[in-house]
Amino acid sequence: MPYNSRRPFSPVSFLPRCLHSPLFFSSQWVYVLELEACHLDQNLDTTTDYIDECKTDGLKLLRKAVGSRYIKIIPSTHRIQISDPNQIMAETPPSADNPTLFSPFKMGKFNLSHRVVLAPMTRCRALNSIPNQALVEYYRQRATAGGFLITEGTMISPTSAGFPHVPGIFNQEQVEAWKKVVDAVHEKGAVIFCQLWHVGRASHQVYQPNGVAPISSTSKPISKKWRILMPDGTHAQYPNPRPLATHEIPEVVEDYRLAAVNAIEAGFDGIEIHGAHGYLLDQFMKDGINNRTDEYGGSLANRCKFLLKVVKSIATAIGADKVGVRISPAIDHLDAMDSDPRSLGLEVIEGLNKLQVELGSKLTYIHVTQPRYTAYGQTEAGSHGSEEEVAELMKIWRRAFMGTFVCSGGYNRELGIEAVAKGDADLVAYGRLFISNPDLVLRLKVNAPLNRYVRASFYTHDPVVGYTDYPSLEKGNGNLERLSRM
């Protein structure tokens, strides 16, 4: 197979990218593979140094991906020959890739330069629900060229808040304010998605317009085991929610859709639907909460219907390729227990896979939280099994989803590196470590010490303290000692 390309070649930056594309895009994969082989061919002809470089950086990866028997270097010319791309596609699983946490990844149409993601985190700094200069600075600090950030949970409507000073994306003032955050992140070359959030029953009358009861799938309140953070910093019991009437659900779907449209107007590259952690959509999915008898209760399919309607409505409005979905089937945060997390996860994933086929376009990703995050082993029913069992569930869901898989929840440097290297995830979202390490990507890459996070300032409102004053490596570690003592 002769290759005559005369385009410049960088074995490190080009070749790994071609090997990340899953079988789903098999024809493109072959194309890119051929293209990269062109570069190899051209440059292998030039100097011995280059041949060595190609051999180490390029051929090694190519061999791993397609198998040595398909690749041959023609002696005397040093040309590379790939025997049969069709056979390669048939026989080479995508896991033959050799990615690392720090290697590039093509997430749909976004070319990411590494796989360390900022997890969505509520920080309560958007006074009166309007993103301000503090948010601009916070997200700017955490942006890297080719990095991927997910914003904190953002209110889709006036009824959706359950924390003080959470930003919204349902009116024009909020949209205009978000533009400054998005611009700052884009200036640094990062991709940013807005997380769309409705807390459902995880709210209180103080956060509701006219002091009404918060909405949910049920009239059961969150148990006394959990306490809600009030606007004055105290904690209170969660109140009784009002179950949504069947005819009201399409109205909430519409709130999600409008919020997504607003997010795109604000310049976001996409949105993430928060279907996790015991909030509204999860309150419908989990059989430990949802006790409805209408078409949104009972069977797995019925319980997942609300989420899937939201996904479809948003994907139709802004494009599936701008939509990520977060779920946490095995997490019991805010009493969100399910008797069969495995099947629940698979039901959602199969629904999303079908939707991708129906829409003729892939979603950007699925983001799954694993319960290492919530004090593992403290579930009341103890029904979630061992950490190994949950890790196995993550693998099952990862294999089932036809697209990019983002994992999060208790990942440190080693676990993140391992998750990507083993093919258990494409991207790893970091939460708490990113709070205290604005330059987390660099620190993980060079294996630098990490600042400790200060839990006490997670949800306070100071625009600087515990928010944008964590030191980066360049600024020196003067603050490290102070922070670690707090």
Ligand X SMILES: Cc1cc2nc3c(=O)[nH]c(=O)nc-3n(C[C@H](O)[C@H](O)[C@H](O)COP(=O)(O)O)c2cc1C
Which residues lie below 8 Å from residue 320, measured CB to CB, with a gap of 6+?
355, 356, 359, 361, 362, 363, 364
Using rule CB under 6 A, residue 131 touches ligand X: no
Give the nearer residue to ligand X in terms of CB position, either 160 or 356.
160
Give the range of 52-60, 119-127, 349-357, 463-471 binding ligand X by CB under 6 A.
119-127
Read out DSSP for 321-375?
Answer: GGEEEEE-TT--GGG---S-HHHHHHHHHHHHHHHHHHHTS--SEEEEE-GGGTT
**Contact pattern for ligand X over residues 441 through 460, marking x by CB under 6 A:** -----------------x--
Binding residue for ligand X (CB under 6 A) from 21, 408, 437, 468? 408
What's the Cα-to-Cα distance from 38 to each of 13, 28, 48, 81, rounded to whole Å?
A: 15, 15, 18, 10
Using rule CB under 6 A, residue 138 touches ligand X: no
Give the nearer residue to ligand X in terms of CB position, either 194 or 244.
194
Using rule CB under 6 A, residue 404 touches ligand X: no
Which residues lie below 8 Å from residue 91, measured CB to CB, with a gap of 6+?
67
> Minimum distance from CB of 154 to ligand X (Å)?
8
> Minimum distance from CB of 397 to ligand X (Å)?
15
**Cα 77 to chain center, whole Å?**
46
Give the range of 402-410, 443-451, 463-471, 474-482 binding ligand X by CB under 6 A.
402-410
Q: What residue type is assigned to position 93 of the chain?
A: P
CA angle 187-317-429, nearest 5°? 50
Give the nearer residue to ligand X in terms of CB position, either 14 or 467.
467
**Measured distance CA(350)–CA(371) in Å, rounded:** 22
Q: Within a 10 A sphere around the Cβ of 120, how many other Cβ atoms?
A: 26
- Structural contact between residues 344 and 338, judged by C-beta atoms closer than 8 angstroms: yes
Using rule CB under 6 A, residue 410 touches ligand X: yes
Using rule CB under 6 A, residue 152 touches ligand X: yes
Q: Within a 10 A sphere around the Cβ of 115, how many other Cβ atoms?
A: 27
Strand ranges inside 59-109, DSSP E:
71-74, 79-82, 105-107
**Contact pattern for ligand X over residues 240 through 279, marking x by CB under 6 A:** ----------------------------------x-xx--
What is the four-CA torsion angle of 464, 469, 474, 479, rounded to 10 degrees? Answer: 150
Give the nearer residue to ligand X in terms of CB position, either 373 or 470.
373
**Measured distance CA(74)–CA(84) in Å, rounded:** 16
Binding residue for ligand X (CB under 6 A) from 107, 117, 119, 444? 119
Using rule CB under 6 A, residue 326 touches ligand X: yes
Active-site residue set: 279
Binding residue for ligand X (CB under 6 A) from 432, 445, 452, 461? 432
Using rule CB under 6 A, residue 431 touches ligand X: yes
Residue nearest to ligand X (CB): 431
Task: Give the footprint of ligand X on this chain (CB under 6 A).
Answer: 119-122, 152-153, 195, 274, 276-277, 326, 369, 373, 408-411, 430-433, 458
